[in-house]
Amino acid sequence: MKRTLILIALVSLASCQISKSQDCTCAQLLTLGDCGRNSKCTWNLTKLVCELPSNTGTGTGTGTGTGTVTKNYGKSLYCEGLAQTECLDKYECAWLDNKCTFFTSCTPFEKATKDECQAISKRCITDGTICVEIDICDSYSTSISCVQSKTSYCVWDEPTKKCSNVTECSQLPTDLKTDAECRKQLKNECTAKDGGGCVESGTNCEDQKQEVGCVTNKARTVQCFWGDGKCFEKKCEFALTSNKTHADCQKFSDKCTAKKDGGCVDIKTCQDGQILEGCKIDNAGKDCFWVATENKCKDKTCVNAPNTMKTNSDCKQYLPKCITNGQ
């Protein structure tokens, strides 16, 4: 009942904004919900302010009436009908009573866990009692709410009862489970560890202690490879001979292509290609061409086209910019 009253209060507050929207400048509308109800304004997701759209060019002069209606209509329908996962990905929307609706606020909802609040909107976490909007770490006063800000994770210090930004890989939460998830945090220098959570990346592949963290070196310039309980730099020559095609070798590492008798080699020039499957691209990404009659790999250029191509249409099929040399 209390919740319903709060919701009604929120909605009527919003409609009052609509009726007064003529008197309001965009900057006076402080929430996304209010901003969305004024057709002239848009909510800037970067600055988190309500403002006039930057490109006020087309159709504002003559067609204001219909333009306004269309826009309002579009906004009110924006969240409607979205499935839950899609809904939760939209900053403007919330998932309530199994429906996607326009987001208004986190605080009407009494939920004691982060997951329950996040199931309503990704903008909400719990303070232990109600959902609250995600804020900066320093603003959280309970260890339960001290989880994340908009841009970073937070860490709770029990002795001082203070919440602050995470500064070390080891302070990141255990629900980060992969190298990719850990890398996004701090200075791209954290990798994953067993059991979840992150650890500072080793400098070289050889320094990564666990398989889950054996993905790249610290600078992310070298791909790594786990074998014999150790982490190595991923070299094309380590690929098993069951790798037979260019695609197999590319899946192993984007620096590799197929070689004779199986396995992979570094991609160098077209001339280095030993077999048809190892004759696809050179290390600059340019196309190569396999000349079966000569058993050779060549740059795919007009001059290298085989003499069996006699007509312009043959040549065009080989490479659109080529024409026949008349021989």
Ligand X SMILES: *[C@@H]1O[C@H](CO)[C@@H](O)[C@H](O)[C@H]1NC(C)=O
Look up residue 255 and give its two tokens: 């620096």
Specify the stretch interacting with ligand X by CB under 6 A; choose among 46-54, 72-80, 121-129, 304-312.
46-54
Of 15 and 170, CB closest to ligand X: 170
CB of 53 to ligand X, least distance (A): 6
> x/- contact string, 277-296, with ligand X (CB under 6 A)?
--------------------
Of 54 and 308, CB closest to ligand X: 54
**How far is Cα 1 from Cα 110, in angstroms, rounded to an integer?**
13
> x/- contact string, 117-146, with ligand X (CB under 6 A)?
-------------------xx---------
**How far is Cα 52 from Cα 24, in angstroms, rounded to an integer?**
12
**How far is Cα 142 from Cα 104, in angstroms, rounded to an integer?**
24
Among 28, 152, 223, 304, binds ligand X (CB under 6 A): 152
Confirm if 154 and 140 have CB atoms less than 8 A apart. yes
CB of 253 to ligand X, least distance (A): 9
Specify the stretch interacting with ligand X by CB under 6 A; choose among 42-50, 83-91, 179-187, 299-307.
42-50
The reply on whether position 165 binds ligand X by CB under 6 A is yes
The reply on whether position 235 binds ligand X by CB under 6 A is no
The reply on whether position 248 binds ligand X by CB under 6 A is yes
Nearest to 262, CA basis, from 280, 290, 239 = 239
Write the DSSP symbol of residue 286: -
Q: How many residues bind ligand X (CB under 6 A)?
A: 18
DSSP 99-118: EEEE---STT---SSHHHHH
**CA distances (Å), origin 17, targets 13, 65, 99:** 7, 19, 24
**How far is Cα 5 from Cα 279, in angstroms, rounded to an integer?**
70
Among 4, 19, 46, 56, binds ligand X (CB under 6 A): 46
DSSP 221-282: -SBEEEETTEEEE--GGGS-TT--SHHHHHHH-TTEEE-TTSSEEE---GGG--SGGG-SB-
The reply on whether position 253 binds ligand X by CB under 6 A is no
Specify the stretch interacting with ligand X by CB under 6 A; choose among 198-206, 240-248, 297-305, 309-317.
240-248
Of 186 and 305, CB closest to ligand X: 186
The reply on whether position 24 binds ligand X by CB under 6 A is no
Specify the stretch interacting with ligand X by CB under 6 A; choose among 10-18, 80-88, 181-189, 239-247.
239-247
| Chain residue whose CB lies nearest ligand X | 242
Nearest to 258, CA basis, from 266, 247, 246 = 246
Residue with token string 């220098």: 189
**How far is Cα 125 from Cα 133, in angstroms, rounded to an integer?**
6
Of 248 and 289, CB closest to ligand X: 248
Residue with token string 């790999």: 297
CB of 273 to ligand X, least distance (A): 19
Residues at the interface with ligand X (CB under 6 A): 44, 46-47, 54, 136-137, 149, 151-152, 164-165, 238-240, 242-243, 248, 252
